Structure 1
């Protein structure tokens, strides 16, 4: 199945993949060793590094974990690190949280 992607998405995927490959090389880790440690196939790692966008998210996160980057990616997607996210969270959070108890019937 072919997916239509925006030009920006394609560019971001390629940049992400190139960053993963660079990080691997900076750390002096071979592709074979990284794929083994991450528990993914060599083909999956190649897909990630090429920015093909076909690897499952759990596999991408496994690769990032081995490279020591998974926490940074999770943190980068946390809405509470943005002013807008904090603003909306404050608006929608209840003032108090109450435990709902089931109604008891009077006999």
Structure 2
């Protein structure tokens, strides 16, 4: 079985803990969030405990159930970074021919 890099494992733990904090701040039970995300309680537990084997779709479904999906999408938007904005200006065409 292939092992994940340490940084990936650490990031999975951080994301799981953050989603757990979102859930607790909203006074939602794990059962409520699991039902809203259409996953099992055990899968939510694995995610919240940092299992990097939980699917990307599950992470997004839980983020949606917690009202945090837009924050996840925004966090990965390259145009929200200085580098992304600089590269976009250089890479995008100055005008579009019709």
**TM-score, shorter chain, exceeding 0.5:** yes
Instruction: Pick the structure with greater CA Rg.
Output: 1
Partner SS for 2:23: helix
Q: Distance in 1 between matches of 2:76 and 2:2?
A: 24
> Is the partner of 1:25 in helix, strand or coil?
helix
1:9 equivalent in alignment to 2:8: yes
Match of 1:73 in 2: 72
Paired position in structure 1 for 2:41 = 42
Q: Residue 26 of structure 1: CA displacement?
A: 1.6
TM-score with structure 1 setting the length: 0.83
Aligned counterparts of 1:39 and 1:15: Cα–Cα separation in 2: 22
RCO higher in structure (CA 8 A, sep ≥6): 2
Equivalent-residue separation in structure 2 for 1:67 and 1:60 (angstroms): 11
Compute the displacement of 1:98 (Å).
Answer: 2.8
- Structure with greater helix percent: 2
RMSD: 1.3
Q: Which residue number in structure 2 is paired with residue 90 of structure 1?
A: 89
What are structure 1's unaligned runs of at least 5 residues?
A: 100-107
Q: Shift in Å at residue 3 of structure 1?
A: 2.8
Q: Hey, what's the Cα distance between the residues in 2 that align with 1:54 and 1:5? A: 9
TM-score normalised according to structure 2 size = 0.90
